[in-house]
Amino acid sequence: MASRGAKDTGKGQRDKSKRDGGNRIALYPGTFDPVTLGHMDIIARAVKLVDHLVIGVADNPSKSPLFPMAQRVKMLEQETASLAGAGRATISVRTFDSLLTQYASEIGARIIIRGLRAVSDFEYEFQMVGMNQRLAPDVETVFLMADPRHQAIASRLVKEIAVLGGDVSSFTSPSVAKALKKRVAEMKRK
């Protein structure tokens, strides 16, 4: 993933993660366009494993994002608000547009969280881990298998269903489904 560096969401989390020192900081990267129930499943499970989870929203124009970066960040902040605390990790949502391993180093993350839906994901992820280990040998990648109920969910397919007028409510939260419907209507007016 290519990018230029971290951007603070304005809530001071960047400074906090730098102070965390010995705590287990993990990075869960993705475009999250839109955030799906599959993403939320991985996030809910990741917060049980680490002290601080940074959700890195990648700026990847080659994926032709449906939602602007600021809206994806806002959706993730709203969707994850209830998952932090009570014995689980703190969560921050930040954008990045640099190499994944550089960003992990910048925020002090020693763990990269990746979700796997199917065997086909594994081949790509296996290559990425090999490259990332060469670039940053001190950063480990942890794979979490998607809950079977969410294994078929992919943001790309959810967008396609929404654009074609289908019901995405079984793949996203109600608020994300509403945002998708609104965004598709805006695009059709243009």
Q: Is the Cβ–Cβ distance between 34 and 171 less than 8 Å?
A: no
Q: What pLDDT is attached to residue 87?
A: 74
Where do the domains of the chain lie, and which CATH numbers do they carry? 6-150 (3.40.50.620)
Q: What pLDDT is attached to residue 8?
A: 45
Q: What pLDDT is attached to residue 21?
A: 52
Q: Is the Cβ–Cβ distance between 112 and 144 less than 8 Å?
A: no
pTM of the model: 0.85
Task: Name the residues annotated as catalytic.
Answer: 39, 63, 117, 155
Q: What pLDDT is attached to residue 170?
A: 94
E strands of the chain, at which residues?
Answer: 6-7, 25-30, 52-58, 90-96, 111-116, 140-145
Q: Is the Cβ–Cβ distance between 97 and 4 less than 8 Å?
A: yes
Q: What pLDDT is attached to residue 150?
A: 82
Classify 26 as helix, strand or coil.
strand
Per-residue pLDDT of the chain (190 residues; tens, 9 = 90+): 433 344 444 443 433 434 445 589 999 999 999 999 999 999 999 999 999 999 999 998 787 899 999 999 999 999 999 988 777 789 999 999 999 999 999 999 999 999 988 777 788 888 999 999 999 999 999 999 888 888 888 899 999 999 999 999 999 999 999 999 999 999 888 7
Q: How crowded is residue 190: how many other Cβ atoms within 10 Å of its Cβ?
A: 4
Question: Which phi and psi (to 5°) does residue 32 adopt?
Answer: 50, 55
CA triplet 173, 36, 183: central angle to 5 degrees?
A: 75
Q: What pLDDT is attached to residue 41?
A: 95
Q: How crowded is residue 55: how many other Cβ atoms within 10 Å of its Cβ?
A: 26
Cis peptide before 61 (omega within 30 of 0): no
Q: What pLDDT is attached to residue 22?
A: 59
Question: Which phi and psi (to 5°) does residue 6 adopt?
Answer: -85, 150
Rg for the chain, CA atoms, rounded: 16
